[in-house]
Amino acid sequence: MSESRTPKVGIEGFADGTRYQSARPGYPVEAVAYLIDRLGVTSTTRVVDVAAGTGLFTRELLAFTTQVIAVQPAQGMRDEFARQLPSVEIVEGFAEKLPLSDASVDDLFVAQAFHWFDPERALAEFTRVLVPGGGLGLIWNERDESVDWVDEMSAAILWHQKKPYDMATDFSTILEIGGFDDVEKRSFKNAQLMDRFTLHQRVLTTSYIAVLDSSQQQKILEDVDRIIKSFDEPFELPYVTTTYCATSPH
């Protein structure tokens, strides 16, 4: 853990790669297309997916380039990634100390993870491994708390007490302070079709819930069930997908 500020929950909370793969949402086509177009990804573009998890976003990248390497600190995630995408190289590493050579990639992506990083150290490391003027793309799926029942669910899963970051955080200034140019933020609508079982699995992939004991987890799931007790299945969990694009220093 000396290579990253990521707290223990940030590693142990993502130990179950199989559950994460089955329960986490994908990314909207429009958001992916925007990142690819804005950063100019082509079949010859060398890209790295940092904190790649089980490869949910890596899979999107493979539709545009085969020159992809993934970096992920948690063993459980790397194991599931290897099952899902056996042809893609995945290596152990932290955002703050990437196992990559200087100026070795054209574009760098982070999906659902930048909030775990030490931004000053991570952005300096991104600058090191990117070619001058290389692209940085960040993306998050965040629950749409403007929907009443989703806001109630956030309270039920104790998000406001234990959250690893504020979903309303604007990372634009952080990227600019880190030396990145042409920072642009956009948001897109997204939704995940699910039943009660899938929602339970989704809740249990939340980092701080994953490390609780079974009785504490069960209490949270019961509170969630009270919110959705009248729902017909399947139902949609709405998200707002937020993206950032930026350019590394020349």
- Domains of the chain, by residue range, sit at 8-144+166-192+240-247
- Please determine, for residue 220, whether its predicted confidence score (pLDDT) is greater than 80: yes
Task: Read off the pLDDT of residues 70-82 as tens digits, 9 standing for 90 and up.
Answer: 999 999 999 999 9
Enumerate the H helices of 13-93 as residue ranges: 17-23, 29-39, 56-61, 75-84
Q: Which of 156, 138, 134, 154 is nearest to 146 (CA)?
A: 154
DSSP reduced 3-state for 27 = coil
Domain at 8-144+166-192+240-247, CATH from 2.120.10.80, 3.40.50.150, 3.40.50.2300, 2.70.150.10 = 3.40.50.150
> Considering the entire predicted model, what is its pTM?
0.92
Classify strands 105-111 and 130-143 as parallel, antiparallel or unpaired: parallel
Residue 128 contacts residue 69 (beta carbons within 8 Å): no
- Please determine, for residue 3, whether its predicted confidence score (pLDDT) is greater than 70: no
Decide: residue 152, CB within 10 A, 0-12 exposed, 13-18 middle, 19+ buried.
Answer: middle
Residue 197 contacts residue 242 (beta carbons within 8 Å): no
Task: Read off the pLDDT of residues 28-72 as tens digits, 9 standing for 90 and up.
Answer: 999 999 999 999 999 999 999 999 999 999 999 999 999 999 999
- Please determine, for residue 1, whether its predicted confidence score (pLDDT) is greater than 90: no
pLDDT at 2: 36
What's the pLDDT band for 11 if we cut at 50, 70, 90? low
Q: What mean pLDDT do residues 14-23 have? A: 85
Q: Which of 4, 18, 249 is nearest to 115 (CA)?
A: 4
pLDDT at 8: 53
Say whether the peptide bond before residue 132 is cis (omega within 30 degrees of 0).
no
Q: Please state, in angstroms and rounded to a whole number, the distance separating the CA atoms of residues 138 and 175.
A: 10
